[in-house]
Amino acid sequence: MLSRSGLARLAAVALAAAVVLAAALPAEAHSLKLWVRVAEGRTLKGRAYFPGGGRAKGVTVEVFDPAGAKLGSAETDDEGEFTYEAAQRCDHTFVVRTMDGHGDTAVVRAEYLPADLPGGTVGGASATAGAAGVSSSAPTARGDTDAPTGAPASTEGTVRAAELERAIDGVVARWAGQMMDKITEYEDRQRLHDVLGGIGYIVGATGIVFYLLARHRKP
Amino acid sequence: MHIPDGMLPAGTLVAGAALGAAGVALGLRRLDADRLPQVAVLSSALFVASLIHVKVPGTSVHLVLSGLAGIILGWSAFPALLVALFLQAVFFGHGGLTALGVNTVNMALPAVICHYLFNRNLTRRSSAVAAARGFAAGALAVALSCLMVALTLATAGKGFVAVAWVVFVAHLPIMGIEGFVTASAVSLMHKVHPELLSASPPPEVLEEESHA
């Protein structure tokens, strides 16, 4: 029969091996993740991927409005990326699911979409059916209604301000996109202390069970 | 292989919780203080195993080690897996908490099946047989789990055959790896500490010198 010291040694070796293994491997989260952002204007770009495990290609992403009605769908390309043109100014919920059960959800809030889209109330008092016509999309240049307060009175000045704002939008979106990549990667990476935490709980639970068994044996 | 929250109908979740609770209760009854360290060590190994990924085109799969847990622990694989799955869900967001019962059954039931198939008289057979049985247990446990996951997802309306095929094929490398891992672990234990593989509860002993 394995003596207590022998068993303790075995347990210590096994646990040490587990911890070393977990620390040595570039172990990252396993689940399918989805990230969607406003690329420019009403163009939304998204990515479906397995952190540490590559991109999810050819996966269907469905889009829902706040009421749960389906707005449309998109399919990821070889890079796991997809594009979606928003037609309403409401919260867009993107859902991705693969056949074997992996999945994730991402929400793009209405406030980040252009104000000139139909269904203008933030949080989606949903647009009427008539506004669903994609062709009635936002004009390519933002009109006066979207000009920031204190904009120059002249039309040319308004147009230039709008163009400038769009240009800045584009630059910030690209920069923010890369920041988001980093944040997501950081969130998903397993840290050694998570492993130690889990093993700590197991050790603690084992101790409690030992105690209970001992109490039960000697009343 | 972990099923997240929000995928399964309530009936499946309830059935899974009930079956899981029954399995865990049975596993706890067969547990005694001498076996407890093994259960704890295996539970930790199960917990960490899901961090070891293998990249497969289109998806990402990870080690399970349910075959190893089954062949050593038998019914006590249920509580060991329950704890490991709970910690994986809480720490890594791996699999849902409402689906905990379902996930436990999907992984523990194949483990118990492998115990009954491969642990009989294991200590009395040769090391080669022990290694072969270990390989079989490692691979079969994963294969059966794939089947059960597909069955479970079928209750959510997904076509069973298509899902079963996708999950099974994706896990083929895992079956191979786990086969080898379980084979070497079982073979080592068989040579050095065969009492760890004994199906019956070990007798109570006083402190003795070991020669590990």
Mean pLDDT (whole number) for B166-184: 91
Whether A18 contacts B48, CB under 8 Å: yes
Q: Residues, chain A, total?
A: 219
* pLDDT value of residue B96: 85
Of the candidates B139, B124, B163, which has an alpha carbon nearest to the alpha carbon of residue B66?
B139
Calpha distance B131→B143 (Å, rounded): 18
Indicate the residue of B62, B158, B208 with minimum beta-carbon distance to A1. B208
Residue B94 to chain A, least CA–CA distance (Å): 7
* pLDDT value of residue B20: 96
Residue B159 to chain A, least CA–CA distance (Å): 9
CB atoms A31 and B202 under 8 Å: no
Distance of CA B24 to the CA centre of its chain: 13
Tell me: pLDDT of A111 over 60.
Answer: yes
CB atoms A8 and B62 under 8 Å: no
Over the stretch B1-17, which tens digit does the pLDDT of each residue have? Answer: 888 888 888 999 999 99
Amino acid at B92: F
Which residues on chain A are in Cβ contact (under 8 Å) with B163?
99-100
Tell me: pLDDT of B66 over 60.
Answer: yes
Q: How many CB atoms lie under 10 A from the CB of residue B51?
A: 25
Mean pLDDT (whole number) for B98-115: 95
CB atoms B195 and A1 under 8 Å: yes
**Per-window interface: A 55-94 vs B, CB < 8 A:** 56-58
**Which of A134-138, A174-178, B5-9, B155-159 is least confident?**
A134-138
Is the minimum CB–CB distance between A209 and chain B shorter than 8 Å? Answer: yes
Helix B127-154 and helix B100-118, axial crossing angle in degrees, nearest 10: 150
CB atoms A197 and B212 under 8 Å: no
∠B24-B91-B186 over CA atoms, to 5°?
Answer: 55
Tell me: pLDDT of B62 over 90.
Answer: no
CB atoms A195 and B51 under 8 Å: yes
* pLDDT value of residue A13: 63
Mean pLDDT (whole number) for B131-150: 93
Indicate the residue of B55, B167, B209 with minimum beta-carbon distance to A100. B167
Amino acid at B127: S
Is the minimum CB–CB distance between A13 and chain B shorter than 8 Å? Answer: no
Residues forming beta bridges with residue B56, ordered by sequence position? B59
Q: Which residues contact B144 (CB under 8 A, 6 or more apart)?
A: B109, B110, B113, B114
> What does pLDDT average to over chain B?
86
Tell me: pLDDT of A34 over 80.
Answer: yes
Distance of CA B153 to the CA centre of its chain: 19
CB atoms B41 and A5 under 8 Å: no
Query: Cα(first)–Cα(last) distance of chain A, in Å?
Result: 26
Whether ipTM tops 0.90, in short, is no
Residue B132 to chain A, least CA–CA distance (Å): 22
Whether the model pTM is above 0.80? no
CB atoms A101 and B7 under 8 Å: yes
Over the stretch A168-215, which tens digit does the pLDDT of each residue have? Answer: 877 887 788 778 777 767 766 656 778 888 999 999 999 998 888 888
- Using CA of residue B32, residue B36, residue B38, residue B40, what is the dihedral sign? positive
Percent of chain B with pLDDT over 90: 50
Of B39 and A31, the structure prediction assigns the larger pLDDT to: B39
Tell me: pLDDT of B190 over 70.
Answer: yes
Amino acid at B80: A
Whether A125 contacts A54, CB under 8 Å: no
Take residue A61 and report the two structure tokens written for it: 């992403």
Tell me: pLDDT of A52 over 70.
Answer: no
Which residues on chain A are in Cβ contact (under 8 Å) with B210?
2-3, 5-6
* pLDDT value of residue A1: 46
Mean pLDDT (whole number) for A117-132: 48
* pLDDT value of residue B146: 92
Nearest CA in chain B to A200: B44
Indicate the residue of B4, B33, B208 with minimum beta-carbon distance to A101. B4
CB atoms B59 and A102 under 8 Å: yes
Mutate to test the interface with A, among B53, B83, B151 (most CBs of A within 10 A): B53
Half-sphere exposure at residue B33, Cβ-oriented, CA atoms within 13 angstroms: 14
- Using CA of residue A191, residue A195, residue A196, residue A198, what is the dihedral sign? positive
* pLDDT value of residue A189: 66
